[in-house]
């Protein structure tokens, strides 16, 4: 008896059809990730420079920290909204656009960049007020 005539002991596995590859990555998604990474980099750099500037009792480090913290405070929300907009456009395209994971990473890092920028700016503002007006009254 030829091997083709032997009945199989199990049925053929029913594998799902391969998913169609996603189309091009949506542009707002890449902008969101880039802006969030830039904001995070600026915010963390401002935090480090401001901290070391305060320890060294040099005003230039605090001023530079402010100029690095404010862009992070602006770029964070911008990256957040671009990422959220990119996700909605990807959903509406029904598979023609890709990059959902990049979009989620972009808007999450945008929130983190905004938080770091806010912390750096707040620290700078408090230290500037204390330096100019003295400690708060007891």
Identify the pLDDT of residue 62: 67
What number of CA atoms fall less than 13 Å from residue 120's CA on the CB side?
A: 35
Q: Domain residues of the chain, as ranges?
A: 38-130
How far apart CA 84 and CA 5 sit, in angstroms, is 57
**CA atoms of 49 and 35, how far apart (whole Å):** 21
pLDDT of residue 106: 93
- Per-residue pLDDT tens over the stretch 10-66: 666 677 877 766 678 888 899 999 999 999 998 888 888 776 666 665 556 667 777
Q: Are 83 and 29 in contact (CB under 8 A)?
A: yes
**pLDDT greater than 80 at residue 9:** no
pLDDT digits (tens, 9 = 90+) for 74-102: 999 999 999 999 999 988 988 788 888 99
Whether the pLDDT of residue 8 is over 80: the answer is: no
Rg of the chain's alpha carbons, rounded to an integer? 26
Q: Which phi and psi (to 5°) does residue 25 adopt? A: -75, 135
pTM score = 0.73
**Cα 112 to Cα 131: distance, rounded to the nearest angstrom:** 28
Structure confidence at residue 11 (pLDDT):
65
Q: How many residues does the chain have?
A: 138
Predicted pLDDT at 4: 74
Question: What is the per-residue pLDDT for 49?
Answer: 78
């Amino acid at each position: 008896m030829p091997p083709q005539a032997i009945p199989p002991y199990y049925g053929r596995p029913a594998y799902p059809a391969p998913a169609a590859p996603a189309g091009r990555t949506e542009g707002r998604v890449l902008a969101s990730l880039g802006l969030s990474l830039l904001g995070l980099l600026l915010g963390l750099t401002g935090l480090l420079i401001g901290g070391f500037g305060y320890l060294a009792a040099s005003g230039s480090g605090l001023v530079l920290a402010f100029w690095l913290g404010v862009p992070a405070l602006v770029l964070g929300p911008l990256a957040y909204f671009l990422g959220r907009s990119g996700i909605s456009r990807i959903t509406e395209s029904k598979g023609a656009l890709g990059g959902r994971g990049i979009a989620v990473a972009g808007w999450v890092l945008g929130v983190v960049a905004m938080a770091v920028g806010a912390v750096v700016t707040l620290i700078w503002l408090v230290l500037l007020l204390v330096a100019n007006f003295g400690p708060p009254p007891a």
